[in-house]
Amino acid sequence: MKSITPDRIQPRDHKALIFIILAVILLLAFCLDVLLGSVSIRASDVLAALFKKGDPGIETIILQFRLPKAMTAVAAGIALSVSGLQMQTLFRNPLAGPYVLGVSSGASLGVAIVILGFSSKFIPGNIQTLGNWALVISAWTGAGAVMMLIMFISSRIKDIMTILILGIMLASGISAIVSIMQYFSNETMLKAYVIWTMGSMGNLSAEQLKVLSVTVAVGVLLSLLTVKMLNALLLGENYAASMGVNLKFSRLMIFAGTSILAGSVTAFCGPVGFIGIAVPHIVRNIFRSADHRILLPGTVLAGGSVMLVSDMISQLPGSSGVLPVNSVTSLIGIPVVIWIILRRKRETGSF
Amino acid sequence: MIAMDRFQNRNLRFILWMSLIAALVSSCYNSTAGLTESDPNNSDAAIKYAQRFTLEKTDSSAILTVTDPWQGAKGIRQVYHLVGRDLETTGWKDTSAIIRVPVKSVICMSTTHVAMIAALGRIDAITGVSGAGFIYDPRVRERIGRGLIREVGYESGLNHELVLSIAPDIMIAYGIGSESAGYLGKLKELGVKVLFNADYLEKDPLAKAEWIKVFGALFSLEQPADSVFDSVCESYNQIKGFVQRHSAGKPDVLLGLPFRDTWFVSPGDSYPGRLIEDAGGKYLWYDTKSTVSMPLSLEEVFLRSLKADYWLNTGSAASKSEIASLDPRLQEIPCFNTGTIYNNNMRISPSGGNDYWESGIINPHIILKDVASILHPEMFPGYELFYYRKLE
C-alpha cells in the first residue's frame, strides 16, 4: 500500500465516479431493505403493493412497516455518520463518535427515568402504555440536557481535550446513575430498558418519521455550514484561529449539529453504536481525502447504506426471528475500527 | 407442638406421624443421602401434571425435590426434607435442607405463592412479601397495612437484614436465572431456608395449580391441598371436555403486545398456548416449540394476525386507544375493528396488583372458562367474565 499523500491527489472525475457508485449503492440498499424481511414477499408483490394494487396485508407490510423502517435507517445512518465525522475532526481523535460527549448516556438517563424510575409505582408492564412518544421525549430531554451542559462547559474552557475528557467523565457518571436505577429495578422493567438500548429502526409512526427527517435535515444543513471550519480545524486549532475561524462559534455550531443529529436518532431508535465511528473512516479511505467538502456528502451516502445493510441483516431475511440492530452495527463497525487502528500503526493518519 | 399439629391437621396423617415416631428414632440418624434413596414408587403417582417437583413420603419425613427451578436450568435438583417440628434431627449431616413442618412464618417472593397459601386458608403464616404493591388479595393487603406482613424487596434490592429479623421458617423464592441463586446465597449461609418454587415454569395450566401440593406439605395440610387440586382438575377437565364436544369451530387467537418493533411471542407449547387449545381455540403459533418467548419481527406477527379472530392478553394496554398509542399500525389488525380484544385485567387492586397473576394460578378452571366463553360465547350464555375484560 502506498502512502496516503500522493493518493489524495485524485482527478475530479474519479471522485465524481465514486459519488455516483455510492449513490447507486444507497439506492440499491434501500430497495433491498424494502424487498427483504422476515416475511418473504416477491418483488412483483412489492411493486403491486407500492401502487396499492396488491394484497392488503402485503400492502400494509410494505407501506407501513418496511418503507418507514428503510427511511428511518437512511436518516439514522446519515445522522450518526455525519455527527461522527464532525466529532472526529473537532477532537482530532479517530475514536471519537456521535456519543463521545455523552449524548447517548443523556438519552439513556431520560429513558431509564421513564422505564425504571417512574413506572415502579405502577405495574411494571405499564411502561408500554405510556405510548410511542414517552420514550422519545424523555430521551430527547436527556440528550439535550447533556449537550447544553457540554456547550456551557465549552464556552468556558478553551482546551478541546479538556472538553473531551469532561464529556467522557459526564457520560461515565450518568451511566453510573443508570446502573443504580437498573440495580433497583425488577426484571420486567430491566428487560424493557435493555431492549431500548439494543436499538430498533422499525418502531416509528408516520409523524415520528416526519419529525426525524426534519431534524436530520436541519442537522445536516448545519453541518454543511461547518465544512470550512472543519477543514481549518484539521490543521490545528491555533492555525484555524489564525485563519480567522471563530473557535468558540464553530464549536457551538458543531455541537449543536451533533446534538440535533445524534440526539434525535437516539431518541427514536435507541443508541446505535459504531456506525458513527466507522463510516467516516470508510469514507476517508474510499476517497483518500481529508477535505470535508468531499467527506461530508460521502459520509451522507455511505452512512445511509451501511445502516440499511445493518437493518437488513438484523431482520434475518428468510427466518422469522430478528436480531437487535445495535449488535449488528457493532459487529460491522468493530472490525472497521480495528482495521483503522492497525493501519494507523503503519501510516500517518489524517489528524 | 403436637397439639398444634392435631389442631391444624385432624386427619390420618397425624396418626401416621405418631405411629412412625419409633421408626424415626433410628432412621433420622441416617445421612440425608440415605433418606433420598428411599422408595420413590409411592410418591410420584400422586403428582399428575407438574414436571418440576416430586414429593416423596418416607417414614420420617417428606422429601420435596424441585427439578431445574429456573429458566434454562439443566439437571439441577434441589432436595428438601420436610420434617415434623417435634422430631429429632441431631444426627443429620446437612441440616440446611431440612424444613420443619408445619411452617408458621413464610416469606413469599411471588404473588402466586401468596395465592396458594390463601387457598389453604393460612394467610396468617405470611410474614413477608416481595412487591407488596402487586398483591391483589384484600386480606393480605390489609395485613400489610397493619404491619403484620413486611415488604422485603426483590432481587438485588432484597432487604437481607429485614429477612433475618423476620427469621421465617421458610422463604419461598423463584429464580429467573442461575445467577438469581446468588443473591439468596447469603441468606442460605445465614440459615434462612430458601425454597425455589418453579410453578411459573410449568407449561400445563393444571401443573401450575398442582404446586399447591407443595404448600400442602409445607403446612401439613396435604389433604386440603389435594382436595383443592382435585376439584380444580375436575372443573378444568369438565369445561375442556364440554368445549371439545360442543364447539363449532376453532377461532384463531393472537396473544400479547409488541415491544418496539419486536413481538416476543409465546411458543405453542407454553401455558397460554395450551390454555387456548383447551378452550377450543387455535393459537396462531400453536405449532411452535420453545422454552422462552420467541422474538419475532412486527411484520411477521402482523401478517399472521390478519387472520386472528380474537386478540387476548394485551399486557399493560387497558384500552384500544392505549394499543393505538403504542404503535398506530396495530390498529390495522382486524380484531381492532371487530372489537374482539380481551385482556386479563378485570381484577386490579388500587396499587396495580392483578389477580390474574395471583389467584389465577390456583384457578386455571376459571381462566379456562373465561377464555372458552370469549371464544365460544354461544356455549356459555349469561356467563360473566372473572379475570378477563373486553377492551373498549
Residue of A58, A195, A206 with shortest CB distance to B262: A195
Arithmetic mean of pLDDT, A177-185: 83
| pLDDT band with cut points at 50, 70 and 90 for residue A238 | confident
Arithmetic mean of pLDDT, A18-46: 90
Q: Which pLDDT value is given to residue B60?
A: 75
Residues pairing with B253 in the sheet: B283, B310
Share of chain A above pLDDT 70, in %: 89
Q: Which pLDDT value is given to residue B13?
A: 44
- Please tell me the distance from the alpha carbon of residue B198 to that of residue B210, in angstroms, as a whole number: 11
CB contact under 8 A, A203 and B260: yes
What's the number of CA atoms in the CB half-sphere (13 Å) around residue B202? 24
| pLDDT band with cut points at 50, 70 and 90 for residue B181 | low
Helices (H) and strands (E) in chain A, counts: 16, 0
Which of A46, A72, A129, A266 to substitute to test the interface with B, most B CBs within 10 Å? A129
Determine the residue of chain B that is closest to A314 in CA distance: B297
Q: Which pLDDT value is given to residue B247?
A: 84
Residues of chain B with CATH 3.40.50.1980: 22-222, 247-390
Q: Which residues of B touch A200 (CB under 8 A)?
A: 260-262
A11 class by beta-carbon count within 10 Å (0-12 exposed, 13-18 middle, 19+ buried): exposed
| pLDDT band with cut points at 50, 70 and 90 for residue A144 | confident
What's the grid cell of residue A281?
473512516
Q: Which residues of B touch A57 (CB under 8 A)?
A: 302-303, 306
| pLDDT band with cut points at 50, 70 and 90 for residue A184 | confident
CATH architecture of B22-222: 3-Layer(aba) Sandwich (3.40)
- Which has the higher per-residue pLDDT, B95 or B321? B321
| pLDDT band with cut points at 50, 70 and 90 for residue B178 | low
Segment A88-132, tens digit of pLDDT = 998 888 888 888 888 888 888 888 888 776 544 443 444 444 556
CB contact under 8 A, A123 and B352: yes
Closest C-alpha among A130, A129, A175, A166 to residue A271 = A175
The residues near A252 (Cβ < 8 Å, ≥ 6 apart) are A151, A154, A155
What's the grid cell of residue B163?
429477612
CB contact under 8 A, B299 and A61: yes
Q: Which pLDDT value is given to residue B150?
A: 93
Arithmetic mean of pLDDT, B186-196: 83
Q: Which residues of B touch A128 (CB under 8 A)?
A: 257, 259, 315-317, 326
Segment B130-159, tens digit of pLDDT = 888 889 999 999 999 999 999 998 766 788
Determine the residue of chain B that is closest to A317 in CA distance: B297
Share of chain B above pLDDT 90, in %: 46
Which of A119, A123, A135 to substitute to test the interface with B, most B CBs within 10 Å? A123
Segment B296-353, tens digit of pLDDT = 888 889 989 999 999 999 887 888 888 888 888 899 899 999 989 999 999 998 887 8
Measure in Å the smallest separation between the Cα of A42 and chain B Cα atoms. Answer: 15
Q: Which residues of B touch A58 (CB under 8 A)?
A: 303
Arithmetic mean of pLDDT, A135-160: 83
Q: Which pLDDT value is given to residue A162?
A: 86
- The whole-chain average pLDDT of chain B stands at 83
| pLDDT band with cut points at 50, 70 and 90 for residue B364 | very high
Q: Residues 274-303, chain A: which have Cβ within 8 Å of B?
A: none
Q: Specify which of A244-248, B92-96, B187-191, B286-290 reaches the highest per-range mean pLDDT.
A: B286-290
Q: Which residues of B touch A322 (CB under 8 A)?
A: 261-262, 295-297
Exposure pattern of A268-296 as b/e (b: 16+ CB <10 Å)? bbbbbbbbbbbbbbbbbbbbbbbbbebbb
Measure in Å the smallest separation between the Cα of B239 and chain A Cα atoms. Answer: 31
CB of A65 less than 8 A from some CB of B: yes
Q: Specify which of A82-91, A258-267, B148-157, B364-373 reaches the highest per-range mean pLDDT.
A: B364-373
Determine the residue of chain B that is closest to A125 in CA distance: B316
Q: Is the pLDDT of residue A14 over 80?
A: yes
| pLDDT band with cut points at 50, 70 and 90 for residue B188 | confident
- Please tell me the distance from the alpha carbon of residue A348 to that of residue A343, in angstroms, as a whole number: 9
Q: What is the pTM of this model?
A: 0.76
Q: Is the pLDDT of residue B290 over 70?
A: yes
- Which has the higher per-residue pLDDT, B123 or B22? B123
Residue of B176, B261, B322 with shortest CB distance to A187: B176
Arithmetic mean of pLDDT, B43-64: 81
Residues pairing with B354 in the sheet: B348
- Which has the higher per-residue pLDDT, B352 or B385? B385
Which amino acid would we find at residue B350? P
Q: Which pLDDT value is given to residue A102?
A: 83
Q: Which residues of B touch A192 (CB under 8 A)?
A: 259
| Least confident piece of the model among A197-201, A222-226, B214-218 | A197-201
Q: Which pLDDT value is given to residue A347?
A: 52
| Binding-site residues on chain B for chain A (CB distance < 8 A) | 131, 133-134, 154-157, 176, 257, 259-262, 294-300, 302-303, 306, 315-318, 322, 325-329, 332, 352, 354
Does B364 sit behind a cis peptide bond, omega within 30 degrees of 0 on the bond before it? no
CB of A37 less than 8 A from some CB of B: yes
Residue B375: CB atoms within 10 A of its CB come to 26
Q: Is the pLDDT of residue B245 over 60?
A: yes
Arithmetic mean of pLDDT, A335-344: 79
| Least confident piece of the model among A122-136, A293-307, A321-335 | A122-136
**Fold topology of B247-390:** Rossmann fold (3.40.50)
What's the length of chain A?
351
- Grid cell 472490525 is found at A335
Q: Which pLDDT value is given to residue A9?
A: 53
What's the grid cell of residue A91?
477532537
Is the separation of the CB atoms in A244 and A62 below 8 Å? no
Q: Which pLDDT value is given to residue B242?
A: 94
Residue of A65, A203, A205 with shortest CB distance to B299: A65
Alpha-carbon dihedral A199, A205, A206, A208, rounded to 10 degrees:
-60
Determine the residue of chain A that is closest to B180 in CA distance: A187
- Which has the higher per-residue pLDDT, B322 or A82? A82
B74 class by beta-carbon count within 10 Å (0-12 exposed, 13-18 middle, 19+ buried): exposed
Arithmetic mean of pLDDT, A3-32: 79
Q: Which pLDDT value is given to residue B45?
A: 47
Q: Which residues of A touch B295 (CB under 8 A)?
A: 321-322
Is the separation of the CB atoms in A271 and A29 below 8 Å? no
Residue B177: CB atoms within 10 A of its CB come to 12
Determine the residue of chain B that is closest to A124 in CA distance: B316
Q: Is the pLDDT of residue A8 over 90?
A: no
| pLDDT band with cut points at 50, 70 and 90 for residue A202 | confident
- Please tell me the distance from the alpha carbon of residue B265 to that of residue B311, in angstroms, as a whole number: 13
Q: Is the pLDDT of residue B92 over 80?
A: no
Is the separation of the CB atoms in B272 and B255 below 8 Å? yes
Q: Which pLDDT value is given to residue A130?
A: 54
Q: Is the pLDDT of residue B355 over 50?
A: yes
| Least confident piece of the model among A337-341, B36-40, B379-383 | B36-40
Q: Which residues of B touch A187 (CB under 8 A)?
A: 155, 176
What's the grid cell of residue B335?
380484531
Interface TM-score (ipTM) > 0.85: no
- Grid cell 434501500 is found at A30
CB of A125 less than 8 A from some CB of B: yes
Is the separation of the CB atoms in A227 and A254 below 8 Å? no
Distances (CA, A) of A117 to A138, A183, A186, A190, B277: 12, 11, 11, 11, 38
